[in-house]
Amino acid sequence: MNKTIVLLLGILAFVVSCNSSSKETEDGYSGATKWVDSIHYSQEKHLANIKQITFGGDNAEAYFSFDGTKLVFQAKNPAWNAPCDQIYVTGIDETWEDSIPQLVSTGKGRTTCSYFMPGDSAIIYASTHEGDEACPPEPPHGEKYVWPVYPDFEIYVADLKGNIVQKLTNREGYDAEATVSPNGDKIVFTSTRTGDLELFTMNIDGSDVKQVTSELGYDGGAFFSPDGTKLIFRSSRPKTEAEIMEYKDLLAQNLVQPTEMELYVCNVDGSDLRKITDLGNANWAPFFHPSGEKLLFCSNHKSSKEGGRPQFNLFMINLDGSGLEQITFDSVFDSFPMFSPDGTKLVFSSNRNNGGTHETNMFIADWVE
């Protein structure tokens, strides 16, 4: 469900980019540009040999297979007969400009948050198709930006031809945002089964479900550490009476407001819970660095809270909250970073090189320490 933010960003990107030159022009924001048809900014010293994988639509949340040769991702693209998000698989060396990758979801309902299962012959993802085969309605546009938390989402396992081989959840309410441990033994996911958006783990076959978090607020987008012992996740933790009331009112409508989120880390069982960031605005889409001692994440904390143009970029930070470093320098949107299992490559989604359109594409790069 992370990708719904891309829709808002696309609108904002058009507003600020339609009058910009296609030549690189300094914008006063860490050297970023207003709009430039380029896939690599000069300040991005940790990235090399960036390659664009998709060329149209909204493509996001791409994650590597265990052997590092494939990616599974979600896309909304009318040209692919996908009016709302569906799940696709591609090789890391393939590009999709004039053809369509292998569809591995049903093509019905709306999907989100796919991930490879151990052995790379199956994937896990969430879908609303059993509740309704049509795309679910988008939240109404209002003064505040919200994400939908569709109660029809359930978690499924499918083979690489798109055949569902197992249904892992079967509860009323939201079950989604599942990712798999590098050890191949556990899955972490977000669910409203207790009445709040909490993290849970289960065995790879769906058994032994255990609650990880319990504090009021939206806990989601969790990933395992490289050794499988820790979880990193985003959270909105309302504190004041007004914040708590607003959060509960929105959740009762199957909505959340993701504009104020920070990052937390804990052991897989929920112990030793620690807040990592305290940057303000939205800090999300975290993923562990191969060392397990730091992480990459998306943030707009440098954007003005007084109505300035939102700029989401990738940052790196140590697990103790020190050493914050900016990694990407796009003028609009970079997010959803994931390292390959061997730590040599990074895949991410970006509004760069889209000709000033609303399109969000996938890019892969060599990682440079």
pLDDT for 5:
46
| Residue 116 in domain | yes
pLDDT for 57:
97
pLDDT in tens, 296-324: 999 999 986 545 567 999 999 999 999 99
| Residue 119 in domain | yes
pLDDT for 307:
53
pLDDT for 58:
97
Q: Which of 224-233, 303-312, 338-347 has the lowest mean pLDDT?
A: 303-312
Burial class for 208, CB neighbours closer than 10 Å (0-12, 13-18, 19+):
exposed
pLDDT confidence band for 27 (50 / 70 / 90): very low
| Residue 27 in domain | no
Q: Is residue 224 scored above 60 in pLDDT? A: yes
pLDDT in tens, 354-367: 998 989 999 999 99
Q: Is residue 233 scored above 70 in pLDDT? A: yes
| Residue 11 in domain | no
| Residue 70 in domain | yes
Domain extent, residue 243, equals 59-328
Burial class for 42, CB neighbours closer than 10 Å (0-12, 13-18, 19+):
exposed
- Residue 369's alpha-carbon distances to 92, 178, 207, 291, 322, in angstroms, are 21, 29, 39, 11, 17
pLDDT in tens, 103-120: 999 999 999 999 999 999
pLDDT for 308:
57
Distance between CA atoms of residues 217 and 368, nearest Å: 36
pTM of full prediction above 0.85: yes
Query: For the chain, what is the domain count?
Result: 1
Are residues 117 and 180 in contact, defined by beta-carbon separation less than 8 angstroms?
A: yes
pLDDT in tens, 64-82: 999 999 999 999 999 999 9
pLDDT for 141:
80
Residue with tokens 């609009």: 332
| Residue 349 in domain | no
Please report, rounded to a whole number, the percentage of residues in the chain having pLDDT higher than 70: 88
Residue 240 C-beta-side C-alpha neighbours within 13 Å: 3
pLDDT for 22:
29
Averaged pLDDT for residues 244-261: 96
pLDDT in tens, 156-192: 999 999 999 999 999 999 999 999 999 999 999 999 9
| Residue 51 in domain | no
pLDDT for 303:
82
| Residue 144 in domain | yes
Q: Which residue has the higher pLDDT, 22 or 332?
A: 332
Average pLDDT value for the chain? 90
Contacts of 354 (CB under 8 A, 6+ apart): 13, 360, 361
pLDDT for 8:
45
CATH number at residue 148: 2.120.10.30
pLDDT in tens, 131-165: 999 999 998 887 788 999 999 999 999 999 999 99
Nearest to 330 by CA among 305, 304, 369, 303: 303
